[in-house]
Amino acid sequence: MSEAYMPGFGNDFETESLPNALPQGQNSPQKCNYGLYAEQLSGSPFTAPRGTNERSWLYRIRPSVRHTSHFSVHENTHWKTGPHISDPTVPIGQLRWNPVPMPNKKTTFIEGVRTMTTAGDVHTQVGMATHVYVCNTAMVDDYFFNADAELLIVPQLGTLEIFTEMGRINVEPLEIAIIPRGMIFQVSPVDGEARGYICENYGAKFTLPDRGPIGANCLANPRDFKTPVAAWEDKETDCRVHVKWCGNFYVTEIGHSPLDVIAWHGNYAPYKYDLRTFSPVGAILFDHPDPSIFTVLTAPSGEEGTANIDFVIFPPRWMVAEHTFRPPWYHRNIMSEFMGLIHGQYDAKEEGFVPGGMSLHNMMLPHGPDTMGFEKATSAELAPVKLDNTMAFMFETRFPQHVTSYAMDLETLHTDYLDYWKGLKKRFDGTIEGNWD
């Protein structure tokens, strides 16, 4: 299916798929054209300040109250929600996994979500969860909305077609998609199989980080965000709408498709972004800035500068710093870091971190380059080097990330992760001043 987009971040968009379907000069006419119903979708409280006030007006074949009937409970085994506490009998530690196996039975996107960690509390709308998804089957008469959270989807393998109430988004590896809380959608893996990562944001929506002295340009530029134009289907078959609500799953059966929005306007909408359009800013003489310079999107908490979630990428870039240890430095952090690798190789790890894999460096647990990475970085000739063929990312949160039993029992969990740091031997000699060799 074709898709088309409107550029900009958080704009007040408008789009109509039939001429004059969108009322002009008012939101709620006595009678809408084409016999449509007008409906508001509120993404913020009515009285939120203008800068964070989000809502859209949807003009649709049926109002949303016709897109739900009685709900019944529906299990979704591997999708977990915070608050959730790690098994206290399992010791803490730095963790790393190879990719999760692809399913050997038919699995839709929603069925294929496997939770790795949760953080915070969905009931108070703070925190997040990290998931991987694996799928090999299109959702045909099944639809989904998540009342708990906004979804940040990071494909690693295969393109997804995401048909939302407000339009179609095609998203491939090296792109991301954001689906707002409450938005009904359906996913088809275009290439047959698909795998990737999801950050489920229980808190305030993702927004662009402030750029401070960087100024008006670079990092993720607003025009590179793409919101779909209106698209719809008028289908009368047995359809099911699945809902996630406070961590529980429900299903309701209706006799038609809920994706019936002919036109809409507003600033509460899904979007996608191509990570290759991120314009990195970094060290041009010496030392290594904090990875916050690579923040694509940030989900604020109530405390300035302390994000509920930062979505950070490590894109291709030139490394030019003089007399500098160029990989990420050794680190302990009050924030908790979940990393994934979309493709290529991450510069702090020479071995073991593979595309589709992930790692977890939780609150205050030390981490940094492995032994080979250290050896290489400390002996390299410091000429300008293009770090290419790489795209890693991080979901970083102010809350500790509790690991699910699924993640701890996963056969791809590395039992030897700590060994990669074992070769970092003592080099200290108090009688020799100056650099070691």
Closest-CB residue for Fe ion? Answer: 331
Stretch that binds Fe ion, among 117-125, 259-267, 268-276, 326-334 (CB under 5 A): 326-334
Stretch that binds Fe ion, among 13-21, 97-105, 127-135, 328-336 (CB under 5 A): 328-336
Q: What is the nearest approach in angstroms of Fe ion to the Cβ of residue 328?
A: 7
Q: What is the nearest approach in angstroms of Fe ion to the Cβ of residue 331?
A: 4
Residues 29 and 6: their CA atoms lie apart, in Å, by: 26
Residues 228 and 226: their CA atoms lie apart, in Å, by: 7
Q: Which is nearer to Fe ion, 94 or 378 (CB)?
A: 94
Residues 393 and 176: their CA atoms lie apart, in Å, by: 11
Burial class, 309, CB count within 10 angstroms (exposed 0-12 / middle 13-18 / buried 19+): buried
Q: Are 212 and 373 in contact, with CB atoms under 8 Å apart?
A: no
Closest CA to 130 of 100, 159, 160: 100
Residues 397 and 400: their CA atoms lie apart, in Å, by: 7
Q: What is the nearest approach in angstroms of Fe ion to the Cβ of residue 347?
A: 13
Q: What is the nearest approach in angstroms of Fe ion to the Cβ of residue 337?
A: 5
Cα 52 from chain centroid (whole Å): 20
Residue count, binding to Fe ion (CB under 5 A) = 2
Q: Which is nearer to Fe ion, 333 or 412 (CB)?
A: 333
Q: Which is nearer to Fe ion, 331 or 343 (CB)?
A: 331
Q: Which is nearer to Fe ion, 363 or 385 (CB)?
A: 363
Q: What is the nearest approach in angstroms of Fe ion to the Cβ of residue 56?
A: 37
Among this protein's residues, is 343 annotated catalytic? Answer: no
288 binds Fe ion (CB under 5 A): no
For 156, the token pair is 């690693």
Q: Which amino acid is at 319?
A: M
Site residues for Fe ion, window 155-174 (CB under 5 A)? Answer: none
| H/E segment holding residue 120 | strand 113-121
Q: What is the nearest approach in angstroms of Fe ion to the Cβ of residue 365?
A: 10
Site string for Fe ion, 240-269 (x = CB under 5 A): ------------------------------
Q: Which is nearer to Fe ion, 11 or 333 (CB)?
A: 333
Residues 58 and 232: their CA atoms lie apart, in Å, by: 12
Q: Are 112 and 134 in contact, with CB atoms under 8 Å apart?
A: yes
Q: Which amino acid is at 202?
A: Y
* N residues, the chain: 437
Beta strands in 202-320 (DSSP E): 225-228, 239-245, 248-254, 261-266, 271-274, 295-300, 307-314, 317-319
Q: Are 242 and 144 in contact, with CB atoms under 8 Å apart?
A: yes
Q: What is the nearest approach in angstroms of Fe ion to the Cβ of residue 333?
A: 5
Residues 247 and 81: their CA atoms lie apart, in Å, by: 5
Stretch that binds Fe ion, among 172-180, 202-210, 323-331, 369-377 (CB under 5 A): 323-331
Q: Which is nearer to Fe ion, 363 or 382 (CB)?
A: 363
331 binds Fe ion (CB under 5 A): yes
Stretch that binds Fe ion, among 54-62, 113-121, 147-155, 327-335 (CB under 5 A): 327-335
**Bridging pattern class, strands 239-245 and 142-146:** parallel
Stretch that binds Fe ion, among 147-155, 173-181, 198-206, 330-338 (CB under 5 A): 330-338
For 427, the token pair is 């080099």
Site string for Fe ion, 60-89 (x = CB under 5 A): ------------------------------
Q: Which is nearer to Fe ion, 39 or 337 (CB)?
A: 337
What are the angstrom distances between the C-alpha of 70 and each of 181, 189, 243?
Answer: 21, 29, 12
Closest CA to 315 of 209, 193, 176, 210: 176
For 324, the token pair is 């500098």
Q: What is the nearest approach in angstroms of Fe ion to the Cβ of residue 20?
A: 53
Residues 18 and 33: their CA atoms lie apart, in Å, by: 10
Check 288, 331, 343, 414 and give the catalytic one: 288
Q: Which is nearer to Fe ion, 55 or 331 (CB)?
A: 331
Binding site for Fe ion (CB under 5 A): 331, 333
Active-site residues: which are they?
288
